[in-house]
Amino acid sequence: MSSVDDAALAGMEGDAAAAPKGGKKKLLIIIAAALLVLGGGGGFGAYMFLGGGEAPAGTEPAPVADTTPPVFYEMPEIVIRLDGGQGSYLKLATVLDLAHDHTPDEMKAIEPRLLDVMQTYLIDLKPDDIKGTAGMYRVRQELLRRVNDLAPGSTKDILFKTIILQ
């Protein structure tokens, strides 16, 4: 080899040796920048989570969950024949989840009407109307609507304790 080739080879080796040093520097800068971004984001998140930031003007605070304990009213069990009194038997036990401003005593006073409304609705159902989750949901919503028609705003939900279709 000639001296020019040796010099070029030596220069190339020097560049190859210099490249990893520059690459390490770039890698350290990238890692440092990533740590700063993550640290800043984490710090900001902790600041907001711990209540340091206030809500912007014009926004309302998130609603506070109702902490009053639920009030339930257990309805008497209903046994009825479906399909106009000609079909299968349905045994249904329900519990009314009352709104906070209504009492079980109020519901006890209108219990005969509640039972009549529920039975009048249930007797017209067919067994297929009750089958499945969607069917039970429709029955629940219809019973809830009818109960709230008798005592407006009294019941938040109707809970099923027993459902037997025979």
Could you tell me the CA-to-CA distances from 11 to 2, 21, 25, 127 in Å, in that order? Answer: 14, 16, 21, 91
Q: Which helix (H) or strand (E) holds 82?
A: helix 82-85
pLDDT digits (tens, 9 = 90+) for 14-25: 555 555 566 788
- CA torsion 109→113→115→118, rounded to 10°? -140
Note the pLDDT of residue 27.
84
3-state class of 81 per DSSP? strand
Q: Does CATH number 3.30.479.30 belong to domain 71-165?
A: yes
Measured between alpha carbons, how far is 87 from 166 in angstroms, rounded to an integer?
A: 9
Q: Is the pTM for the entire model greater than 0.75?
A: no
With 0-12 / 13-18 / 19 or more C-beta atoms within 10 angstroms meaning exposed / middle / buried, residue 97 is middle
Average pLDDT of the chain to the nearest whole number = 83
Residue 66 CA neighbour count, 13 Å, CB half: 8
Note the pLDDT of residue 154.
93
Note the pLDDT of residue 59.
64
Strand ranges (DSSP E) for the chain? 71-74, 78-81, 89-98, 155-165
Measured between alpha carbons, how far is 48 from 67 in angstroms, rounded to an integer?
A: 25
Residues 158 and 97: beta-carbon distance below 8 Å: yes
pLDDT digits (tens, 9 = 90+) for 41-100: 777 777 777 766 565 556 666 676 667 899 999 999 999 999 888 889 999 999 999 999
Measured between alpha carbons, how far is 91 from 19 in angstroms, rounded to an integer?
A: 83
